Amino acid sequence: MAITTEDIKKLREATGAGVLDCRTALQNSDNDFDKALDYLREKGLAAASKRADRVASEGVVELYSHGGGRVGVMVEINCETDFVGRSEEFRTFAHEVALQIAASAPRYVKDEDIPQSVLDHEQSIAEARAREEGKPEAIIPKIVEGYMKKFRDEVVLLRQAYIRDESVTIEQMLNQNIGSMGENIVIRRFARYELGEQSSAAGDAE
C-alpha cells in the first residue's frame, strides 16, 4: 500500500516527529499506523537515553487547580534551555503532567522514589491476602509480583497510563517530548493537595 501525505500528516500529529522520520517509520512498518507509532516511540526512547546526562536546570513550576479549588497541583519540570522552557510545546507538556497528577494522584515520580519500607509493607499485605484466600504456597510469589507491579503502576507517575490516551505511559510521553524538543527534560518533583486529605509529594526525579 502506497504511503500518502495524509498518512504522514496523521502520524506527525500523533507523535510530533518530522516528515522524513514519519515516512521512514511507515515504510519500516508496511504502512501500519500502530507499528509506525511504536517505531517512532522506540526512536524517541533512544534519543532520550542519549540526552539523559545533560543538565536540566531551566523549565517551569506549573500550577493547576481543579474542581473549583478542591484539588491543587504544583509540579516542577526542567529542561536545558530557557528557550525551550518558554516554548508552547514545553508549557503544554507541563500542563498535561499537572493535569495527570490532579486526576490520578500518584505518590512518587519514579520507581526509585518509593521507600523500601513502603514496598515491604505492600508485599506483606499481598502475601497475607494470598494466604488468607487459600492460594497454594508455590504460586504466592507470582501473585505478589503481580500485585507489586499493579501497585507501582498506580502510585508512580512515570508508570501511569496517560489520562488522554491509555496506550501511552507518562514516561513514554516524556520521551516523545524529549525527542521532539531535542533536550533533556526532567519531571523533578510535585505536590498534590486535596481538601480534607493529606497532601502527597514526590522528591527529586534524578
CA distances from 100 to 35, 97, 106, 190 (A): 26, 5, 9, 11
Can you tell me the distance from the alpha carbon of 104 to that of 166, in angstroms, rounded to the nearest whole number?
A: 12
- Report pLDDT digits (tens) over 105-123: 999 999 999 999 999 999 9
Position 103 scores a pLDDT of 95
Q: Do 22 and 63 fall into the same domain?
A: no
Give the model's pLDDT for residue 199. 44
Task: Pull the grid cell for residue 188.
Answer: 523533578
Spans in the chain with pLDDT lower than 70: 1, 15-18, 43-55, 198-206
Query: Which residue, 17, 36, 51, sits at the end of a domain?
Result: 51
**Does residue 149 share a domain with residue 77?**
no
Number of domains in the chain: 3
**What pLDDT is attached to residue 123?**
93
Examine the domain organization and report whether 174 and 77 are in the same domain: yes
Q: Tens of pLDDT along 44-81?
A: 644 555 566 666 779 999 999 988 889 999 999 999 99
Task: Residue 124: give the domain boundaries.
Answer: 115-153
First to last CA, the chain: 45
What's residue 10's pLDDT?
Answer: 81
Q: What pLDDT score was predicted for residue 55? A: 65
Q: What is the CATH classification number for the domain harbouring 193?
A: 3.30.479.20
Q: Are residues 25 and 98 in the same domain?
A: no
pLDDT of residue 16: 65
**pLDDT for 7:** 85
> How does DSSP assign 81-117, residue by residue?
-HHHHTSHHHHHHHHHHHHHHHHH--SBSSGGGS-HH
